[in-house]
Amino acid sequence: MLQIRVKPGVEDRIRGFFPWIYRPEIASFSRKPKKGELVVVRDFGGRFLGYGYINPEVSIAVRIISFDKERPVNEQLIKDRIKEAYDYRKRLYINSNAFRLVHSEGDLLPGLIVDVYGEYVAVEFTTYGMYRFKDTVVKTLVEVLNPKGIYEKVNQTALKVEGIEASEGTLYGEVPEEILIWEHDLKFLINIPEGQKTGFFLDQRYARKFVRSLVEPEDVCLDVFCHTGGFALNMAKMGAKRVVAVDISEPALKVGERNAQINGLSNIEWVKANAFDFLRELDRKGERFDVVVIDPPSFAKNRHSVPNALRGYKELCVRGLKLTKRGGYMAIFSCSFHITEEHLLNVLREASYDVRRQVRVIAKTYQDKDHPWILQMPNTLYLKGVWVEVM
């Protein structure tokens, strides 16, 4: 097996269970590495640090899967990790038949995402090294879940950056165009092939439940970047008199409308528009809301894009605070690791100053528990939201 040694000083972070090794941190190879092959990681003096896989063509050159010298990376370890992830989800008692089964580094399987939608499964391989275990992953999922179908989603970044040669399609059984899942007392249509991510934003499950505690009967609510209506449906279900749901994607809005119909909810207005422009128009008209939820896509794909992203978040917070009634509630989310919780608090503070509105933080929410984050790896905590009362 290929042996690599890291430069002095890098070993402390690895011994602290940080699983990434960047290309400049590698001191030497025992031979020329091949993309995706397994490696033994050693410190500069030759002492064992872990087992992983390598892609010398990318910035994160090595991802460690095992820090245990007695557990080398092989098919059995991959099987064990998937089964351990499933056992963990069973202990969570998730009130839905849809959940994330494997969350990459959060489940010690870097480069693998597995989402379960009832009797169907969506998988995504984001690294070349994990893609080499594709057959093992599929066989294990069939053994553990006995699904009717498994569908592979292809991450465009993985294709371009990692060099994975793959195309989307069904890997096992059959996967229909639409799947009906349930979450709490609501039903949602899922289209795995056409949907964003693997079909649904499962990571916002807790936040969708939390928003219910803020909505009173006869409230007027706003769901910005609504996608297929996750927040909008929950607010409508709690008796809101009127819910305005806005998104730029017409296909997503059409699914949202159907979701509302399936759940017998007729108090949602679906609006196709650019969110920034629409918020300004609402303010111009003097519209005000009791609950405002702003859940934008990732504005910061890397650290270089953070300054521009923060300007976008600041604009959204300014508009959201203006549109929220005194005594009402607003939430702002970031789904990028590069935008931290402190970033969100700062832009909220600046926005509240600009609009001369005092705000009280009532909650902070994160990705739900089936999207685990590892303390020693801050990168695994990506989704965060701040909820405020506008005073």
Catalytically annotated residues: 335
Return the residue matching tokens 């008199």: 241
Cβ atoms within 10 Å of 376's Cβ, excluding its own? 10
d(CA 74, CA 277): 52
Q: What is the Cα Rg of the chain in Å?
A: 22
Token duo for residue 170: 């069904």
Strand-pairing partners, residue 334, are: 384
d(CA 221, CA 237): 12
Helix axes 75-92, 134-145, angle to 10 degrees: 40
- Lay out the sheet containing 384-390: strands in order across: 268-272, 242-247, 220-224, 289-294, 324-334, 384-390, 359-366
d(CA 109, CA 85): 10
> Using CA atoms in the order 180, 182, 187, 189, what is the torsion angle rounded to 10 degrees?
-30
Token duo for residue 83: 């089964």
Token duo for residue 379: 């990168």
CA atoms within 13 A on the CB side of 18: 14
Helix axes 275-285, 306-323, angle to 10 degrees: 30
How many residues comprise the chain? 391
Q: 3-class SS at 204?
A: helix
Cβ atoms within 10 Å of 379's Cβ, excluding its own? 16
Strand-pairing partners, residue 223, are: 245, 293
93: left (phi over 0), alpha (psi -120 to 50) or beta: left
